[in-house]
Amino acid sequence: MVKNIAVIRGDGIGPEIVNEAINVLDRVAELYGHIFNYTDVDMGGCAIDKHGDPLPTSELKKCVESDSVLLGAVGGNKWNDVPGNMRPEKGLLRLRAGMGVYSNNRPAKIWPQLSSASPLKKSIVEQGIDFIIVRELIGGIYFGEHKTEGDTAIDVLTYNEAEIERIGRIGFETAQKRNKKLCSVEKSNVLDSSRLWKKVMHRLSTEYPDVELTDMLVDNCAMQIVKNPAQFDVIVTENMFGDILSDEASQITGSIGMIPSSSLGASSCGLYEPIHGSAPDIAGQDKANPIGTILSAAMMLRFSFNMCEEANAIENAVSAYLDAGYRTADIMSEGGKLVGCKQCGKLIRDNLEKG
């Protein structure tokens, strides 16, 4: 099978972690007889430096015309002083909107080999941490009107029923494939947009009688994620709430460097990226953890290319790497064997076997 992948190496540690993910994909292609063609795309700070734009139209076109997109990370202190509409992160928002990827799925799963790295009490971790946050990605306050008038700043939060319904269906369908439990998170005691959210979710629930729907206010959800994460299977929520909660959830698993994500819309062309940032403080030092990016590549194989066996092979290779005690600095524990980014990628690649 031939697949065309747009590759955004980005800024900071982005190029390093993407390189290791591509090396793993190349090994998968070799084992399973696939061909992966890569097209480099400039986005973020590097695109500002090169083109004066965080995502030129010509670069977005490469992404839209690909079979899927693999992204490292964008941004950094170097571009903090550029105008707000030209920040590296604006390129990411434009990419999501241009691709029409409205559903961001972020798993929060603790690998058993890393249970001691979680900041939560052992008794909580032992109950299990394995849930997915389904975040609406191209609506809400991030995509509303933003303006400052004198000493007053205004950010507009808007959702309509159609936007809520399409992400709600992703939540219900994801729950159907797991343990059939869906928690809808909003702030309906304060926000009109959340009251509409709750109304639509309950209307949809009649179409999914096999899924147990519960409601939770976002502030309570933030507390429950650290108090009793085992209660969650699938969480569905709006853009800003999902952004905050998924970052919180990543921390209870031991390291943000381990967490992949997928962003999908109406087509199979998805955007796949680790959830961490560009970490400019360690860029170019071979210290970055590439596992989040490697697992994002596995998600690409599973959800966009329907290559489930190949995705399982990558995940098994990561598990074997952790079993052997190898650790990058972010997950280093007593007795672990410290490795750098390149060696981490090589060891996982060497563990790859055709099932």
Of these residues, 130, 247, 286, 342, which one is catalytic? 247
**The predicted structure's pLDDT at residue 355:** 67
Question: 160-185: string of b/e by CB count within 10 Å (b at 16+)?
Answer: eeebbeebbebbbebbeeeeebbbbb
Of these residues, 3, 62, 90, 187, which one is catalytic? 187
Domains contained in the chain, CATH given: 1-102+255-355 (3.40.718.10), 119-252 (3.40.718.10)
Of these residues, 102, 142, 321, 326, which one is catalytic? 142
Amino acid at 237: T
For 70, 168, 214, the CA distances from 231, given in Å and listed in that order, are 32, 20, 11
In this predicted structure, the answer to whether residue 353 has a pLDDT above a threshold of 70 is yes
**pLDDT by residue (tens digit) across 121-132?**
999 999 999 999
Calculate mean pLDDT across residues 19-34.
Answer: 98
Predicted confidence band of residue 80 (pLDDT cuts 50, 70, 90):
confident
For 9, 47, 248, the CA distances from 271, given in Å and listed in that order, are 13, 18, 21
**The predicted structure's pLDDT at residue 84:** 76
Predicted confidence band of residue 83 (pLDDT cuts 50, 70, 90):
confident
Taking alpha carbons only, the member of 241, 228, 140 closest to residue 184 is: 241
Range in 11-15, 78-82, 210-214 the model is least confident about? 78-82
Q: Could you identify the residue written with the tokens 């952004």? A: 243
Q: Which two tokens stand for residue 325?
A: 């005690």
- Provide the 3-class DSSP secondary structure of residue 176: helix
Predicted confidence band of residue 213 (pLDDT cuts 50, 70, 90):
very high
**pLDDT by residue (tens digit) across 125-170?**
999 999 999 999 999 999 999 999 999 999 999 999 999 999 999 9
Is 272 a known active-site residue? Answer: no
Is 350 a known active-site residue? Answer: no
How many angstroms separate the CA atoms of 103 and 42, rounded? 23
Of these residues, 243, 272, 321, 330, which one is catalytic? 243
Is 247 a known active-site residue? Answer: yes
Whole-number percent of the chain with pLDDT over 70: 99
Q: For residue 291, give every residue at least 6 positions away whose Cβ sits within 8 Å of its Cβ, in sequence order, or none.
A: 257, 258, 318, 328, 344, 348
Is 281 a known active-site residue? Answer: no
Is 187 a known active-site residue? Answer: yes
Calculate mean pLDDT across residues 345-350.
Answer: 98
**pLDDT by residue (tens digit) across 243-275?**
999 989 988 988 788 999 999 998 899 999 998
